[in-house]
Amino acid sequence: MGTGTGKRGLLAAALAVVCAVTVLGAPGVAFASPGTPDPGSGSSSGSRSGSNASTSTSPTAGSSTPPLPSTASDKDLEAVHIKLEALYHDAAVATDDYNAAEEAAKKQSAKIVELAKKIVAGQAKLDDLKDRAGAAARAQYRTGGLPDGVKLMLSDDPTEFLDGAGRVLQGQRATKDMIGELTRTQQDLEQYSKDASAQWQKLEAGRRTKAAAQKKIEQQIAAAEKLESRLAKKEKERLEQLEQQDAQRAQTAWLDTGILAEINSAASAQGRKAVQFATAQMGKAYEWGAEGPDTFDCSGLTSEAWKSAGQAIPRTSQEQWKQLPHVAVEDMRPGDLIIYFDDASHVALYVGDGTIIHAPRPGRTVTLAGAGSMPILGVVRPDA
């Protein structure tokens, strides 16, 4: 890195990194294939509503769509319901992948910007050290050339010579220190460049993951909407009734275990604030990848609720399950988060009396539901 070419290369690399990160971090830039709309920033796992709680396993979307006769029976509609649940579940899992990639991209972009700043500052320091080293070399050239013994013989004042020799030794030591600092600065710049390159590669990998997740989300939601569009108005109403009946049966079965008698913990001050925020969002539409203020996905709602209470939590339901302290279901209190399904693909905020508030899925709004209306994986407490 001691040559002018190396210096210019480092500076160019730093500026390129800064410019690239600026483009990647610009609002409205989508990491997706051309023609794919940008959903906006945010991250959270998607969600499902009205799931059959008789099993804790997640549904699997099949490749075929159940045929609908001209007038669909309850049996036909139940098949549609199962298919829709599978499609929306897969969209929810993909949403978690998208949101995780989004969060990682934010962190990696910040690291790249920080490294770019270090590269620019290090290059300026290196230039200054080189200028100082050059000045010292020129000064030594002007005063050097003769051995010290000859200088002593030619000197009119030996004391002055010896004083000067002492200053020369001090200068030599300072020069040595400066050369050492210059070498360390060069090494630092090389490491910063390597680190920036590594973060850039991670950012590119995350971009591909995010684009793939977005494509899958849109495909699953489009398939679900196409399936629902084939239903007449009365059939859609009946389908919603069937979903509600499934949720009610699951909630009743959960309550029949007597669990509610064991759940009597009071909310913490932060928990109350989180519940207040969530309930104020009632009626707002679900949108994957959204974290407010007008639309939410499931973990967008829970993360923003706790943010309003002064507690930062992970952005996705899967990371909320992994990172937040677990508590027993019977010990949960208002404000705690209930994680649903084997793959932690949905999350809701417990509000008390066996009730949750959540953002269910596309086509639904933030609403209240029974805490046992979906299969519970576990409970986590942000302010434990």
Instruction: Quote the DSSP letter at residue 342.
Output: T
Q: What are phi and psi for residue 108, nearest 5 degrees?
A: -65, -40
Instruction: Quote the DSSP letter at residue 291.
Output: B
368 three-class SS:
strand
Catalytic positions: 298, 346, 358
Q: If you write DSSP's letter for every residue of 154-204 in order, what string do you get? A: H-S-HHHHHHHHHHHHHHHHHHHHHHHHHHHHHHHHHHHHHHHHHHHHHHH
Q: Write a three-state SS string for 194-218.
A: HHHHHHHHHHHHHHHHHHHHHHHHH
The residues near 188 (Cβ < 8 Å, ≥ 6 apart) are: 118, 122
Beta bridge partners of 350: 356
β strands within the chain, DSSP E? 326-327, 337-340, 346-352, 355-358, 367-370, 376-380
What are the distances in angstroms from CA 339 to CA 46, 184, 265, 320?
12, 50, 18, 8
Round to whole Å and give the CA distance between 291 and 377.
23
Round to whole Å and give the CA distance between 337 and 266.
14
350 three-class SS:
strand
CB 122 within 8 Å of CB 188: yes
